[in-house]
Structure formats: C-alpha cells, structure tokens
Structure 1
C-alpha cells in the first residue's frame, strides 16, 4: 500500500511546488506593478531601496524558519556578496525599465535570460552547446528582435536597462549553479535583498523625497509582496524540482498584460506577444535540453 501511495504523494508535492511558484510569480509581478505606479513620483533608487527594506519583513520569517540568524552559515562569503551585489544592480536596472516601459515589454526582454545563460556558459564554464540548444538560442533571438522591432519602433533607455538586467540575471544564474547547492536558501535570499539595499543607498540619499503616507503604504505592500515571493519560490523549490518550478516564471506575462490593462491602460500588443511566445518557447526548450543533459551526465558519473 505504501509503495502504491508514494507516487501520488510525490505528485501532490510537485503540484504544490508548482502552485507556490505560480503564486510567487504573481507576487513578483504585483511588486513590479507597485514600483511602476510609484515611479512617477520617486527616483529609481528610492523605490528599489524602499521595496527591499520592506521585503526584509517576510525575509526574517524565512530566516527564523531556518533556525534564526545564528543558524545561517555562509560557506563562500565572496561569492555570496557578489550574488547580492549583482542582484542589487540588476534589480535597480529592472526598476528603471518598469518606470519607462509597459510591464509586458520589460518581461518579454527579461525572458531572454536563458538564452544569454546558454551563450555565456561557453566562455565562462567551458560548456559545449549542441546544435539543438544553438537552434533554440537563434530562434529566441529572432523572438527578441520581433518584440523590440529595431528600426520600426522606438528603442529607448528602458529597453537597454532591461537588457542589462537580463544579462546581469544570466550571470546570477551561472553563479547560482556554482554555489546554490552549498549555501542555505535563506542565505541566498538574504544576499539578494541585502544587495538591493546596499547598492541603492547612495542614490536613495541623493534623491530622497519624503513619501506621502499613502505612497509609503503602497511601497510597503510592494516590498511585502517581493519578500513573500522569494519565500514562496524557495518553498516551491523544496517541494518540486527546479525543472518544474522555473518555467512558472513565464506566468508573469499574463499578470503583466492584466496589470497593464487595468492599472496603466496599456493596449495589448499582438506583435509583442508573438515575439514573447517565441522567446518563451525557446527558453522552455533550452530548459528541456538542460534537463536531459543533466540526466545524461549523472548517468555517466
């Protein structure tokens, strides 16, 4: 009876992990929508700082769940610090992009991160990329060109900032491949939130404006959503494999379209959605090939 029930239990765990990941990505999209709402009144640095500061509240819940601050052990302090600084820089670029572009446009560019990871893994990790992954990269880049439409649509600083954030995110992914299994999840989340606070302190001081009480409450809501999203994704990864959890990030495009229509009166761009679909498809295929490659490597160990 136990043997028969085990697959059901595993299936329920995976389903729970996927559900938490979907909820976490909704929380991320909600936090980004709050940033965009407030970006007309406050600087990028102040917004990123406030968001990260309020995100420390659910972060402390995660830390206490892992035994409190005294139980945190950093095995590779320099790499963890680098992870935090990269997360802080990328987060600031993302906040700027959200202030300049519709959320759907920003996410569409951000979804090119798996393509960039594949390209960077060749010089940085010495990986060999086969014809299938190369094909997926080429197709994905075509999707990016369809979305951005250089020469046909205005390409501004917001597009550049989001592309920098995507490249930065690729470096974070490569770094996480090296240390994620060695460091506690609470350490990695603390580094990301702490890095965003640290990176934005100078600019926040220089551009600070006393927020209205309603704006402060909205910023708190966004920060709590961001911190809770980190908690939900970590919990989801503890229940389901990364190969099942990672693709759930693409659900953010749905929320971007909904928030764009409801909060910002942004019309749905069919060309953008077509390009985004190509990028998402190529990203999913790369994840599939990475998963098969990982199984092959383990089989030969």
Structure 2
C-alpha cells in the first residue's frame, strides 16, 4: 500500500489542490454572509443543512454498537468542535481571510503538544524546535504591540486549540470504529451542540442566506472527500506542503473580492508555521508514525 501511495504523488497533489479550493470556497461564502447571521446560528445552519450528507453514515453508526466510553468521547469531541466552529465563524466575520487561514495552520502544532502531554508521545528536540518556530510564526502574524489584536484573532487561537483537542479524541477512536462512524457522530453531536447557542441568538434568515449556508455544507463535504482521495493517493509528506496554497488563494480572494489589504507579514508568518508543520510531518514519516494531522483535517 505504501508503494502505491508513493507512486501517485501527482494525483495526491492534485486532489489536495482541489481540497484547498473547496475550503477556500467555504471561507469565501462564510465571509460573504458576514454578520448578517449570528456566528452560532450560521454554524448551526451549516451543519443542519448538511444533514443530508449523513444518510449513508446512519447504518454504520447503528452497526457500531458504541460503548458508553465511546459515546462520552464522541460527546466531548462534539462539545470542543462546537466551540471551535462558533469561534471560527465569529473570526471570519471580523478579521481578514488571510489571517484566519494562516492561524488555522496552528492546529496541527497544538496536536503535537497535546499528544506529548496527554498521550505519552515523545517530543524530541527537533520536533520541539519546530513547535517553537511555529509559535514564532503566530507571533509574526499577530505582532502584539505593533498592531491591535482583535477579538477575531483571540477567537482563532481558541479555534485552533479546540480543533486540536477534537483531533486527538478522533485519533483515539480511529482504532476502534470506522471513519464513517467518526465523521457521522461528529456531525450529529455538533449539530445538537450548536442548537442551543443558535436559538439564543436566532434571527430569521432569508432564503438567499440559507442557500449560501447550504453551499458552505456542500463545499465542506466536497473538501473532506477530496482530502480523503489525496491521502489515498500519496503520503502526508507529499500533500502537506500543498496546503500552503490555501493561504495564497485566501490572500488573493480577500484582496480581489473583499477589498482586504495584502499583509506580507501574515504571508510570512503563515509560511513559517506551514514549514514547521511540514517538518514535523516529515519527521513522523521517518519515525513511521503519524500523530500530526494534515492542516485540512482541522476544518469546519
């Protein structure tokens, strides 16, 4: 299987490019909806309208006969992912697309830290240095004391942490249940988790807003599917660096469509974080174990 993956790097890169375009599409539509729908409600509608994509996953979930422990883990993952999604929608309406995209690269770094702290994974000096470099990349983006740190930036820091926690839980469950069960349970628990927050701030959405949020669900589903095909075609060491293109597209989208300025420091900081994540991924490949997720695995 490894040889087959190694023999299809072009396909892997191609599917990862498609993945990036789909997730940039998610970003663009959420940015377009903006403050017209409160963050919690927009996030809830994105998941509720995407329930149609859960239909093929119902049977695997029922056949899994989940234990109480597994249900508790799924519930906890649903809680942290719910918080992450609300914070992401909040940030998207308040700070430039490029900054949201660049800061989202931090999630795999937090996963490495969490795996060392809670799963007993080793954090050798070179990987620890790469983590420190990634955090320096975040400081380059934020530049505290040089520019104002907005609530959206704080929200994105929280988003990355919550996505990392959710991924670590999924990593534990991946050896016990199938991928459709993990994906389906996430969608179910997050939809339920978002409902109270959405009701608390509910405003009646227009038909166009519902249409845009359904498009978000379509883009997100297509992105995750394309990502699965990319992983099947090539190893992470090939596909991970390609995810940096998302930042390039996010910068272009923000500048051309939304009139956002191009901040070279954000691009530089994102490049530093992405280089660090790619190095960690390469080191894990050398050690023949995978803990750090691809950047695209921590998406709404």
TM-score under structure 2 normalisation?
Answer: 0.86
Aligned to 1:92: 86
Q: CA deviation at 1:145?
A: 0.9
User: Structure 2: which 5+ residue stretches go unaligned?
Assistant: 291-300
Does the aligned pair in 2 maintain the 1:44–1:96 contact within 8 Å?
yes
Comparing 106-115 with 142-151, greater Cα deviation is found at: 106-115
- d(CA) in 2 for partners of 1:246, 1:156: 29
Aligned to 2:249: 255
Structure 2 CA distance for partners of 1:57 and 1:244, relative to 1, 3 Å: farther
Matches within 5 A, 1:159-178: 159-178=153-172
1-structure distance, mates of 2:255, 2:80 = 31
Q: Which stretch has the larger CA shift, 155-164 or 33-42?
A: 33-42
Residues 109-141 of structure 1 deviation map (CA, whole Å, 9 limit, x = unaligned): 111122222222232122221111121112111
Hey, what does 1:210 align to over in structure 2?
204
Structure 1 counterpart of 2:127, from 127, 130, 133: 133
2:143 alignment partner in structure 1? 149
Q: Which residue of 2 aligns with 1:41?
A: 36
CA–CA separation in structure 1 for the residues paired with 2:12 and 2:79: 28
After superposing the two structures, state which structure 1 stretch, 154-163 or 113-122, moved more: 113-122
Structure 1 stretches of 5 or more lacking a match?
Answer: 1-5, 297-301
Aligned to 1:30: 25
| Residue in structure 2 matched with residue 282 of structure 1 by the alignment | 276
CA distance 1:59–1:21, change in 2 (3 Å):
farther
Is this contact kept in 2: 1:139–1:278, CA < 8 A?
yes
For the pair shown, which has the larger CA radius of gyration, 1 or 2?
A: 1
Alignment partner, residue 295 of structure 2: none
Distance 1:228 1:151, change over 3 A: same
Decide which moves more: 116-125 or 266-275: 116-125
* Shift, 1:162, TM fit: 0.4
CA shift for structure 1 position 247: 4.3
User: Does the residue aligned with 2:134 lie in a helix, a strand or coil?
Assistant: helix
Partner of 2:36: helix, strand, or coil?
coil
Residue of structure 2 in register with 1:3 after alignment: none
The range that moved more, 171-180 or 70-79, is 70-79
Aligned to 1:229: 223
Task: Tell me by how many angstroms 1:12 deviates.
Answer: 5.7
- Tell me, yes or no, if the aligned pair for 2:111 and 2:164 is still in contact at 8 Å: yes
